[in-house]
Protein backbone atom coordinates (compact mmCIF):
# COMPACT_ATOMS: atom_id res chain seq x y z
CA UNK A 1 0.00 0.00 0.00
CA UNK A 2 1.22 3.47 -0.86
CA UNK A 3 1.86 5.64 2.21
CA UNK A 4 1.52 9.35 2.85
CA UNK A 5 3.29 12.02 4.85
CA UNK A 6 2.34 12.68 8.48
CA UNK A 7 1.59 16.34 7.70
CA UNK A 8 -0.79 15.30 4.89
CA UNK A 9 -3.03 13.56 7.43
CA UNK A 10 -6.35 15.14 8.46
CA UNK A 11 -6.05 13.24 11.73
CA UNK A 12 -2.70 14.88 12.45
CA UNK A 13 -4.01 18.38 11.67
CA UNK A 14 -7.17 17.87 13.70
CA UNK A 15 -5.09 16.75 16.66
CA UNK A 16 -2.73 19.72 16.28
CA UNK A 17 -5.65 22.18 16.14
CA UNK A 18 -7.25 20.65 19.25
CA UNK A 19 -3.93 20.64 21.11
CA UNK A 20 -3.21 24.30 20.28
CA UNK A 21 -6.72 25.31 21.37
CA UNK A 22 -6.29 23.51 24.69
CA UNK A 23 -2.88 25.10 25.30
CA UNK A 24 -4.22 28.57 24.44
CA UNK A 25 -7.13 28.13 26.83
CA UNK A 26 -4.90 26.76 29.60
CA UNK A 27 -2.44 29.61 29.18
CA UNK A 28 -5.25 32.14 29.49
CA UNK A 29 -4.54 33.57 26.05
CA UNK A 30 -6.88 36.52 25.52
CA UNK A 31 -7.96 36.73 21.90
CA UNK A 32 -10.89 39.02 22.63
CA UNK A 33 -13.65 36.45 22.79
CA UNK A 34 -16.17 35.89 25.55
CA UNK A 35 -15.42 33.13 28.05
CA UNK A 36 -13.18 30.99 25.82
CA UNK A 37 -15.76 30.41 23.08
CA UNK A 38 -13.22 30.60 20.25
CA UNK A 39 -10.86 28.14 21.95
CA UNK A 40 -13.78 25.79 22.62
CA UNK A 41 -14.92 25.93 18.99
CA UNK A 42 -11.36 25.44 17.72
CA UNK A 43 -10.96 22.42 19.99
CA UNK A 44 -14.26 20.92 18.87
CA UNK A 45 -13.47 21.51 15.18
CA UNK A 46 -10.01 20.01 15.60
CA UNK A 47 -11.40 16.95 17.35
CA UNK A 48 -14.08 16.53 14.68
CA UNK A 49 -11.46 16.79 11.92
CA UNK A 50 -9.28 14.22 13.68
CA UNK A 51 -12.18 11.77 13.97
CA UNK A 52 -13.23 12.35 10.36
CA UNK A 53 -9.67 11.88 9.14
CA UNK A 54 -9.25 8.66 11.07
CA UNK A 55 -12.51 7.20 9.76
CA UNK A 56 -11.74 8.15 6.15
CA UNK A 57 -8.07 7.10 6.23
CA UNK A 58 -7.01 4.48 3.70
CA UNK A 59 -3.27 5.12 3.49
CA UNK A 60 -0.72 4.37 6.17
CA UNK A 61 1.55 7.22 7.34
CA UNK A 62 5.13 6.34 6.47
CA UNK A 63 7.05 9.64 6.70
CA UNK A 64 6.89 13.09 8.31
CA UNK A 65 7.07 15.33 5.24
Helix/strand/coil for 63: strand
**DSSP string of 19-43, one letter each residue:** HHHHHHHHTT---S-STTHHHHHHH
pTM for the structure as a whole: 0.73
Whether 63 has a pLDDT exceeding 90, the answer reads: no
For residue range 29-57, list pLDDT tens digits in order. 776 666 778 778 888 999 999 999 988 99
Collapse the DSSP code of 57 into the 3-class scheme (helix H, G, I; strand E, B; otherwise coil) and give the result. Answer: coil
Distance CA 4, CA 36 (A): 35
DSSP lists the bridge partners of residue 14 as none
Amino acid sequence: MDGKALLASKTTWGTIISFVALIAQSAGLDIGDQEGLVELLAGLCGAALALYGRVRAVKQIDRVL
